[in-house]
Structure 1
């Protein structure tokens, strides 16, 4: 199991469950934790793909400091917080926990389990991290105000505190292409534009009608909307036009000519969906691709590790950010990274200074680059101009999708700022599925229905 389409929903649900169990644990959250001596630390993770990478880093850390670090994984993800809750009750938590960023870290902070790192995570350590995720783990004034509700899952966090530091980053909207299938269809390089992608799909499906198409986890309802349509619409319309699609003005939302234009582009994928894609969840779609039953797969940066676990090597695929249309407002589309996982320090650790040394060690450029190749994941550390040499072509091609300007970068983190209160992506996803792949509705009908739904959200919010 790994990060899925419903990332935000899943993590909030996890956080709610964790809060119910953890809010009463502060007083008994650990009379002592971590290793048995002053030169031994413990770290837990929920990602099996990170275990060996962390252990490799731990070997180097011991050589440098004399401090050993044992790393243990508890999977699946859904069981991880249950394990954390149980260990908190008995005082058996490790020194360092890998957590889902900007969710689980705050839940642990609210309970008193996560230490505040604001006085340590600064200077050279902070400067090594990608600037776009500098605020990850930080309780901003806005986040603090939201937490004050008694119903908030992180009620009890402190303004200005920092309950985690980023370890990995990533984004959605990454297109994976099977190099062998493309070569069989006469294609020798990755698509560079939306038109190139459509031409490649046409060629691979002509070569292999059954296994030459495109897949993604459409059963989850969000991927088609969040991973394809939205960045595609941003590239076609530019930031202002994209923002207006979700606005209160009906003349410029999805029911407008701009909305129809964006939906028409998305509908161009309809002939190329792998049969049955609408019934696949994210993992199943990725497995379909790994098994050679599709030539293309749309996922996230984190998908590459899952593909490797299912038999594909990074060199077997092209990995690229969703390409922009040639005639769009943004022709050099970039995707903004988000913090995916972070590290939290157990407030009851007997070795907090050694634990912080370990956490900072993982942010070093050489260590982070080695972690990335070992884990097939992208580090939060900014690797600079040496990223291609450090990461290899496939990982670096995804890393390069982050290199844009504010005008050319689609940032999914900002969607909540433009969408109406109460906006529900699954309802929009259901409407979108009727357009493609199900072909139950026209582009115009789809545009009208999404517009009506959007306006209903604004009306319900009294705006």
Structure 2
């Protein structure tokens, strides 16, 4: 089971489930014990951390929490569909943020939390993710289309609170394979990254390359090309790539320069990368079939599940172009998963108490260590002593100013209706498939974005 980065993809699997609760008969799930709550998650890697927190919660409150994982994502969606029909939903669900949670809220699957979540509770999260699960002006505007998966929500409603955070564009490197190739330390710049790839590929042409699940093509665009463009060009010129000005968009000299830089990865892709899913790419890295991997902060827990010791990898934010406008870019965090309260829970006060308990810094830090994942709660200065060096290095990827941070949350400059996976498929044709030159790629992506601007 893995997190999916496309909100459209996430929601498609659960859209039908969201409407079923409207016709569900009976009440919510009832474990048969008024002091027992039921919680579902789609992440197996979170179960141990949740169960440890549940044990402490029971000792403190007398309320027992039973945690159940349903994986992969499609199985989780199917379980919700079935349970919505029978009125057998759990009290609390961990869902994908700003997608499933809002869809469930629009269709009555989960309760509105507007009057439940206090300012004290919200202030435990970093400011830039506090509005996750909240219908702000931008989300309300998006909801107005009848094709929106959360059509019908109202402004200022809240349907979830953040639970885990993270970002995309995290590079993982096998320490032993790098050492065998003479790479003594993880790269800090784009050029050092390319040099490292060259060294490991020279050492092992079969297994020394870069793994990425390009079968989901927008991984290449959103996890690599866009952060690289932000570093090379800076915020304003990066955003202009998606605009209507031919002198500044993907077919411009700026756009071509970015694509030429990205194309330098072509010799180093793991053979067959274009046919790998995200899971398969990560598994290949965990099995020593690639020296490098690009993923997200959440990838670390998956590598651990697949037998890799987190201490055996370097993990760091995407390295910037030393000669670029932003030579040392940071990555903006996203709320990745959220906690929702079932609209049919027979114990909503206790369920909310459990959700709030998970947001407490000391609880969140213990969960992070057990799950090898980053909690949404801000952990404070002592976090590294609890979560360990590798997770700490992931947290360091967020350290930047607004001017130096590539923020994947910001889509305001995209043309209306823009679907990044279509542009990403063009990028795959350039690299690794070598069907297009960088200049041809820029023209094709520009033609696509121009069509969106015209239609918008």
TM-score (norm 2): 0.96
Decide whether aligned partners of structure 1 residues 12 and 127 sit closer, same or farther in structure 2, where only a CA change above 3 A counts.
same
Structure 1, residues 142-189: CA drift from partner, whole Å, max 9, x if none? 323433444332233232111111110111111010011011112232
**Post-superposition shift, 1:20?**
4.3
Tell me the equivalent position of 2:317: 321
**Post-superposition shift, 1:110?**
1.9
Structure 1 CA distance for aligned equivalents of residues 414 and 68 of structure 2: 40
Structure 1, residues 92-127: CA drift from partner, whole Å, max 9, x if none? 221111111111112221222311112221222111
Tell me the equivalent position of 2:455: 460
Flag structure 1 segments of 5+ consecutive residues without an equivalent: none
Structure 1 CA distance for aligned equivalents of residues 359 and 177 of structure 2: 37
| Matching residue within 186, 189, 196 for 2:185 | 189
**Post-superposition shift, 1:23?**
4.1
Tell me the equivalent position of 2:428: 433
Tell me the equivalent position of 1:166: 162
Q: Contact 1:15–1:153 at 8 Å: present in 2 too?
A: no
Range moving further from structure 2, 431-440 or 317-326: 431-440
SS in 2 for 1:155: coil
Give runs of aligned pairs for residues 32-71 of structure 1, distance below 5 A: 32-71=28-67
Structure 1, residues 207-243: CA drift from partner, whole Å, max 9, x if none? 1111111110111111111110000000110000001
| 2:200 matches 1:201 | no
Q: Contact 1:178–1:316 at 8 Å: present in 2 too?
A: yes
SS in 1 for 2:215: helix
Give runs of aligned pairs for residues 52-201 of structure 1, distance below 5 A: 52-201=48-197
SS in 1 for 2:9: helix
Task: Give the count of matched residue pairs.
Answer: 456
Structure 2 CA distance for aligned equivalents of residues 61 and 179 of structure 1: 38
**Post-superposition shift, 1:358?**
0.8
Range moving further from structure 2, 80-89 or 390-399: 80-89
Q: CA RMSD in A?
A: 1.6
Range moving further from structure 2, 440-449 or 332-341: 440-449
Tell me the equivalent position of 2:441: 446
Tell me the equivalent position of 1:21: 20
| 2:4 matches 1:4 | yes
**Post-superposition shift, 1:283?**
1.0
TM-score (norm 1): 0.95
Q: Contact 1:102–1:137 at 8 Å: present in 2 too?
A: yes
**Post-superposition shift, 1:32?**
4.3
Flag structure 2 segments of 5+ consecutive residues without an equivalent: none
SS in 1 for 2:49: helix
**Post-superposition shift, 1:302?**
1.2
Give runs of aligned pairs for residues 258-277 of structure 1, distance below 5 A: 258-277=254-273
